[in-house]
Amino acid sequence: MHGKAENSGIEGARLAVIPGDSGVWVFIFADMCAFAVFFLLFSVGRVAQPELYEAARQQLDLQLGLANTLILLTSGAFMAAAARTARAGNVQGTLHNLLLTLGVGSLFGLSKAVEWSAKFNHGIGLTTNEFFTYYFVFTGIHFLHFVIGLGVLLVLIARVRDISVQGGAMDGASLRWIEAGGAYWHMVDLLWIVLFAMLYLMRAA
Amino acid sequence: MESKVDTRYWRFCAWMGPLFVAVFFYCWGILGHNFPPFAPDTPASEVAGWFRDNRDGVRLGMVIAMTFAPAYGVWGYALAKVLEQAVGGNKPGDNILVQLARVGAAWTTITVLVPTSFWLTAAFRPDALPDWMIQMLYDMAWLLIDLAYAVTSVQLFALGVGFLADKRAVPLIPKWLAWYGIWVGFMFILECVMPYFFNGAFARNGILNFWIEFIIWMVWVPALTFFALKAIKRIEQE
């Protein structure tokens, strides 16, 4: 369909760095459960010490939190577009959308670095109080998810780029990987939205 | 002509995993007062007093726990044999994932043995040791066994990624279990904040850093063994 695929043997051999399938949903489900426990712990703590939680919440930078949310939502929209173009068999479009997902998403790392450094410069750290313990641990674990997500995006981009260079067509395995990677990326997105609401927005007292 | 895989002793070795968990849970956990552990903010006098009163139980527990620590490594090697069959290829034993799965299991054995000897030291002559020193030994053992998580993560990731590479229509080990193992290895990272806390969810006895972390790992071992035993049967029939 899309010209000859001379080195088709390369598929599956070199590109299957991370083999994938629907089992990724087990990871996502287990992770959601872990975050559910995090949220529960936070809620219990907030009920016990509403004034402390409210005072600490007001020290967070709402604008940066909102910027983070918009960054991830925009990046998530490009990811969804990548899945759509991949299903339509549009290799170039998929590559562009994945690159945009990565490019926009990377800004989240920058913004998080700015936010955390500001906290450390104000003498606020992991053990300042219970609110900030949860803030740093939960956003830290989320950040780790984000970094892994960037790695997944890079693998997807390399895979689609190779298909593009060879002039090949989108294959089933690549499509499955883009969808699985997309599901993961949306989880990163979703978890942040819940974290944002819980840490930055909800008034405790 | 492909020769049949020699699976002798595999089952025996695979059973060492659940055996390790059961023995370790009772000897290290119950006899050694580690399941759950003393909270880090427990007064030194209380920890020391408990060791003095229960020295015989702790010694028995730790001696048996140390004796059975290699069982984890033996189990890990059995799992690596199954992994060889999952990754396939000409020389699956040379596959880096198989090697990492082996070495991750072997290293984990060391990270179980060494801290166990610290608890044993605390129970060896507790009357001669000041309270703070018994507390220090107890802390040191906990800091080591928790913070050595990354060693076990090597095994968890290698087995997880390797089992996902299985090309069979019905893989030897279910993909959900492979993913679960990867997730457990990943969740262990929470241990990094453990040294900062004396109470609460992230302390060594906390809901996250003790209850959830230990249980998700202890469940993984027998679950993987169950499917590995089924996989061995299939390998023999293939």
Tell me what pLDDT residue B92 has.
83
User: Under a CB-based contact definition with an 8 Å cutoff, are residues A101 and A77 in contact?
Assistant: no
- Cβ contact A27–B179 (<8 Å): yes
Q: What is the mean pLDDT of chain A?
A: 88
Tell me what pLDDT residue B183 has.
94
Mutate: best of B157, B183, B213, partner A, most A CBs <10 A: B183
Residue B212 forms contact with A (CB below 8 Å): yes
Q: For residue range B34-44, what is the model confidence (pLDDT) as tens digits? A: 999 999 999 99
The count of domains in chain B is: 1
- Cβ contact B165–A34 (<8 Å): no
Instruction: Let me know if residue B1 belongs to a domain.
Output: no
- Which chain B residues contact residue A16 at CB under 8 A? 165
Tell me what pLDDT residue A3 has.
39
The whole-angstrom separation of Cα A201 and Cα B19 is 49
- Cβ contact B164–A22 (<8 Å): no
- pLDDT tier, A2 (very low <50, low <70, confident <90, very high otherwise): very low
Instruction: Let me know if residue B5 belongs to a domain.
Output: no
For chain A, strand residue ranges (E) read none
Instruction: Let me know if residue B119 belongs to a domain.
Output: yes
Mutate: best of B153, B176, B198, B199, partner A, most A CBs <10 A: B176
- Cβ contact B202–A133 (<8 Å): yes
Q: Which two tokens stand for residue A21?
A: 């399938």
Range of weakest confidence among A154-158, A200-204, B63-67? A200-204
For B140-213, strand residue ranges (E) read none
Give me the residue from A22, A27, A141 closest to B182, CB to CB: A27
Q: For residue range A154-182, what is the model confidence (pLDDT) as tens digits? A: 999 999 999 999 988 998 889 988 998 99
- Which chain B residues contact residue A23 at CB under 8 A? 164, 174-176, 178-179
Residue B180 forms contact with A (CB below 8 Å): yes
- pLDDT tier, A72 (very low <50, low <70, confident <90, very high otherwise): very high
Mutate: best of B193, B209, B213, partner A, most A CBs <10 A: B193
The pLDDT of residue B166 is above 80: yes
Residue B175 forms contact with A (CB below 8 Å): yes
Tell me what pLDDT residue A128 has.
94
In angstroms, the Cα distances linking B59 to A78, B10, B51, B52, B120 are: 60, 32, 10, 11, 6
Instruction: Let me know if residue B49 belongs to a domain.
Output: yes
Instruction: Let me know if residue B116 belongs to a domain.
Output: yes
The whole-angstrom separation of Cα B190 and Cα B209 is 7
Q: Which two tokens stand for residue A106?
A: 């990377």
Tell me what pLDDT residue B234 has.
95
Instruction: Determine which helix (DSSP H) or strand (DSSP E) holds B181, and give its type and residue range.
Output: helix B175-187
Q: Report the candidate in A75, A64, A76 with the shortest Cα–Cα distance to residue A200.
A: A64
Tell me what pLDDT residue B4 has.
81
- pLDDT tier, A22 (very low <50, low <70, confident <90, very high otherwise): low
User: Does the N-terminal peptide bond of residue B36 adopt cis geometry, omega within 30 degrees of 0?
Assistant: yes
Q: Which two tokens stand for residue B84?
A: 């060889």
- Higher-scoring residue by pLDDT: B198, A25: B198
Tell me what pLDDT residue A16 has.
41
Q: For residue range B103-161, what is the model confidence (pLDDT) as tens digits? A: 999 999 999 999 999 999 999 999 999 999 999 999 999 999 999 999 999 999 999 99
- pLDDT tier, A23 (very low <50, low <70, confident <90, very high otherwise): confident
How much of chain B, in percent, has pLDDT values that exceed 70? 99
In angstroms, the Cα distances linking B8 to A5, B87, B99, B170, B234 are: 45, 20, 20, 24, 14
Residue B96 forms contact with A (CB below 8 Å): no
Residue B183 forms contact with A (CB below 8 Å): yes
Range of the domain at B119: 10-237
- pLDDT tier, B91 (very low <50, low <70, confident <90, very high otherwise): confident
Nearest CA in chain A to B179: A27
Tell me what pLDDT residue A11 has.
43
Task: Give the CA angle between residues B76, B80, B85 to the nearest 5°.
Answer: 155
- Cβ contact B183–A20 (<8 Å): no
Instruction: Let me know if residue B2 belongs to a domain.
Output: no
The pLDDT of residue B21 is above 80: yes
Instruction: Let me know if residue B109 belongs to a domain.
Output: yes
Residue B194 forms contact with A (CB below 8 Å): no
Give me the residue from B174, B183, B208 closest to A27, CB to CB: B183
Q: How far does the CA of residue A127 sit from the closest CA of chain B (Å)?
A: 7
Q: Chain A interface residues facing chain B, Cβ-Cβ under 8 Å? A: 16, 18-24, 26-27, 30-31, 34, 37, 41, 126-127, 130, 133, 137, 141, 144
Tell me what pLDDT residue A198 has.
93
Q: How many CB pairs under 8 A join A and B?
A: 54
The pLDDT of residue B1 is above 50: no
Range of weakest confidence among A133-137, B4-8, B81-85, B95-99? B4-8
The pLDDT of residue A13 is above 90: no
Q: Report the candidate in B164, B160, B211 with the shortest Cα–Cα distance to residue B184.
A: B160
Instruction: Let me know if residue B199 belongs to a domain.
Output: yes
- pLDDT tier, B94 (very low <50, low <70, confident <90, very high otherwise): confident
- Which chain A residues contact residue B179 at CB under 8 A? 23-24, 26-27, 30
- Cβ contact B207–A37 (<8 Å): yes
Walk me through the domains of chain A, giving residue ranges and CATH numbers.
20-201 (1.20.120.80)
- Which chain B residues contact residue A22 at CB under 8 A? 175
How crowded is the C-beta side of B138, counted as CA atoms within 13 Å? Answer: 31
